[in-house]
Structure 1
Amino acid sequence: MTEICLNTARPLLDARPLRKRVGLVILATDHTTEPDFQRMVASERIGVYVARIFYANPTTPENLRRMQPALTEGAALILPGEDLDAICYSCSSASVVIGDEEIAAAIGTAKPGVPVVTPTLAATAGLKALGAKKISILTPYTVETSRPMADYFAARDFDITSFTCLGFEDDREMARIAPASLVELARSAIAPDADALFISCTALRSASVAAAIEEAIGRPVVTSNQATAWNCLRLCGDASPHPRFGRLMTLPLERNSP
């Protein structure tokens, strides 16, 4: 029998394995947020920690609203008993249906005092950082699911010069839209007088082609995952520019932004 020796010398422990921690609460069906955050946020300094909550298609306001009760439990599963530097609920359409404040309250029950980021809050802050007042919006949703999104941004004093939706009901299909197609869709969705384009939906792979979209439309673009990644990076004290993910990723975050 092999003799096993116990080393009783206590090794030195770091305060944290990584200096900063970002939590993600994402849909069970999400294909895109984790890869995007690994590209844009995760580093030797920042760790990204994920919990999935139940979600069933089709993407309707009713189904989106049903996620609200699971938010507290989902957040509680991310490093229980340990602090986070930011936590993101990664669903744009549900953020407007449930409400940013309600989402923050549900997550705050499990992670009190942690800044809560939603795609719509981050997009609002990003559009303001870019100085955009007139915006075009592109979503993959149906008209029914797009309406609350239009109302959300109109209520925040943005002039919506055009709004285009694609009529998809399944977020897994939204994730399969080719990035090159998103560039062409952006080109057709931007209004001549818009200051910027917002592309909603965390399922879309639009963050990876943000720079290409900006070149195609000649104006800034804000996408759901790009905006939340930017917001989380800045909350972690990372001010480094990442222009390959769009102009927004070169800007600071105003800490009093919505």
Structure 2
Amino acid sequence: MTALGFLYPGHSAEDDYPRIEQLLGSDIRVDLVHTDIGEDAHRVDALREMGSPERLAAGVEELRLTGAEAVVWACTSGSFVHGWDGAHEQVRTLARAAGMPASSTSFAFVHAAAELEVRRVAVGATYPDDVADLFAAFLRTGGAEVVSVRGSGVVTAAEVGGWTEAEVLELARRADHEEADAVLLPDTALHTAALIPALEKDLGKPVLTANQVTVWEALRLTDRRVNAPTLGTLFTREPVVQVPGQSGA
């Protein structure tokens, strides 16, 4: 049994996590602890406070008691608003407090794009444009070429949590770009766990969503790989196998 730990801000789309646990269909346990978000606002100052060391540390002890082997701060905007260096420091602080490997959803997107070897990406964000642009800047620092960014101007996570399947599909369609190798939907308040195959079929390309990549990142931290086609292309990617006696050069 591999136990994965997540610090999730507030209450919006947390039911994606037990759903993903079921879809993994393996010896994976998903443990989720809610953190206090303070003010629910997609505004830079509020998002910085949401991801402060004090708020994250408050949930660490409870998570430690679950036996989690790795922890991911399950929030995109509450990590990338600190910038590349600040988000790294946030993760380092979390790892020290938790005593286990740690990461965040923002880095999960960067690592997942690298896993799929996609360089050109389109972003469909629920956030206001200024916050969406900060995510695009974060991705660029991580090596991605962002060919399109679409914000939606939604102010609160609570509103995002109530979006329908049709609204999520429309967001992905609006975000898509003919030059994009993949479409990214960066908000853990958005319900997407049950929608990924439909999104990928509609767009004809990989779709990376916040809660999906967050769980994948925790598996990566624990050196686990699970084949789960119902969670999209990311969960069907096979590792490169080096044939004995052959050089990779």
Structure showing greater radius of gyration is 1
SS in 2 for 1:194: coil
Quote the offset at 1:225 in angstroms: 0.7
2:121 corresponds to 1:135: yes
TM-score normalised according to structure 1 size: 0.83
Give a deviation string over 1:148-192, Cα, whole Å, max 9, x none.
111101112211111001000010101111122211221221111
Structure-to-structure mapping, 1:94-109, within 5 angstroms:
94-98=78-82, 99-109=86-96
Call closer, same or farther: CA 1:86–1:21 in 2, change over 3 Å.
Answer: same
Call closer, same or farther: CA 1:24–1:70 in 2, change over 3 Å.
Answer: same
- 1:234–1:252 Cα contact (<8 Å) kept: no
Which residue of 8, 14, 21 maps to 1:41? 21
TM-score normalised according to structure 2 size: 0.85
Count residues with an aligned counterpart: 232
Match of 2:232, as an amino acid? G
d(CA) in 1 for partners of 2:70, 2:239 = 14
d(CA) in 2 for partners of 1:74, 1:150 = 29
Alpha-carbon RMSD across the aligned residues, in angstroms, is 2.0
Match of 1:63, as an amino acid? A
Which structure 1 residue ranges, 5 or more long, are not aligned?
Answer: 1-18
Give a deviation string over 1:106-152, Cα, whole Å, max 9, x none.
3223212x121311111111111111111100100011221211110
Identity %: 24
Quote the offset at 1:193 in angstroms: 0.9
Which structure 2 residue ranges, 5 or more long, are not aligned?
Answer: 241-249
Match of 2:9, as an amino acid? L
Match of 2:29, as an amino acid? G
SS in 2 for 1:122: helix
d(CA) in 2 for partners of 1:125, 1:142 = 24
Match of 2:63, as an amino acid? I
Call closer, same or farther: CA 1:86–1:247 in 2, change over 3 Å.
Answer: same
Call closer, same or farther: CA 1:97–1:44 in 2, change over 3 Å.
Answer: same
Structure-to-structure mapping, 1:195-206, within 5 angstroms:
195-206=181-192
SS in 1 for 2:34: strand
* 1:21 counterpart residue number: 3
